[in-house]
Each structure stands twice: as C-alpha cells, then as structure tokens.
C-alpha cells in the first residue's frame, strides 16, 4: 500500500511540475495576450490594425521580455484583469494613447486611432488632451485678428 501512495504522489508531483511549464511553452506569444488585453480595454475606439500591431512590437522591444513577464501577461488576460487592477495594463493603455493621434484629434472616439510612433517624453512633446477646451478655435482666431 505504501508503494501505491508513493507512485500516486510522485505522479501528481510530476504533473504539477510539467503542466504549467508545458502551458508556457505551448502557449502563444506574450504580445498576443497584451494585444488582446488592449483591444478589450479600448473596445470603444476604432484602432487601425497595422499601427496597432506595430505599437505592440515597439512597446515590447522597449521593455524587458522574460519568462516572468510572459507569465504575468497571460495571467492578466485569463484573470480578466482591467486597468483598475493592474499597473501594467494602465501603462500599456497610456503609452498606446500617447503614441497615437487620439489626443491630437481631440479625443474624438468616432475617428480611427492611428499609431504615430512609440511615445518618448524626452523626444516628443506631450499632446495636451484638454488644449481645445482651454483654447477653443474661436478664441485663437480672435487673438490672431487683433
């Protein structure tokens, strides 16, 4: 009887070690999971597909890409985490919107969001999303007429 218990426990132990590692190896790339999360969070926007894929590639070239990062993005996707629960998702959304023409188009959700290039605060100016509220076009025209 002791041998059977040992064999069963050894089988369960080996299974517990092999299943997560095989899921990691056989699972898709982390970029796929990050893209799915971003699309789920920005469902209300019209995202240009080629620019979206280019952003995902550029974003993950700029950050570390290791086993822990891959597992983290898979866990975030399968646990249905959102921007309120995860700083990683919040950063992904923030960098996508800053890297696109979303704020340049005055946060107009009806326009297609195009990727312009990976945002870097040291190289590119920060688009002010509220500049059209502070300086409406009518007031700017009046200032230039004087």
- DSSP sequence for 105-143: TTT-TTSEE-B-S---TTTSPPP-TTHHHHS-HHHHHHH
Q: What is the predicted pLDDT for the residue at 32?
A: 80
* Of residues 69, 115, 102, the one with CA closest to residue 61: 69
Q: Does this model's pTM top 0.75?
A: no
Q: Is residue 116 part of a domain?
A: yes
Q: Is residue 10 part of a domain?
A: no
Domain boundaries, position 46: 29-145
Residues 112-137 have a mean pLDDT of 70
Q: Is residue 65 part of a domain?
A: yes
* pLDDT exceeds 60 at position 134: no
* Tally of domains within the chain: 1
């Amino acid at each position: 009887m002791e041998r059977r218990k040992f064999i069963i426990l050894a089988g369960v132990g080996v299974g517990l070690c092999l299943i997560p590692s095989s899921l990691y190896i056989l699972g898709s790339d982390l970029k796929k999971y990050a893209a799915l999360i971003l699309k789920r969070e920005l469902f209300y926007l019209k995202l240009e597909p080629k620019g979206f894929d280019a952003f995902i590639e550029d974003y993950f070239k700029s950050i570390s890409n290791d086993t822990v990062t891959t597992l983290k993005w898979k866990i975030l996707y399968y646990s249905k985490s959102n921007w309120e629960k995860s700083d990683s998702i919040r950063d992904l959304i923030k960098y996508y919107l800053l890297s696109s023409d979303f704020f340049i188009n005055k946060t107009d959700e009806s326009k297609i969001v195009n990727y312009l290039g990976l945002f870097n605060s040291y190289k590119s100016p920060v688009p002010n999303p509220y500049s059209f509220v502070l300086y409406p076009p009518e007031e700017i025209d009046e200032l230039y007429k004087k």
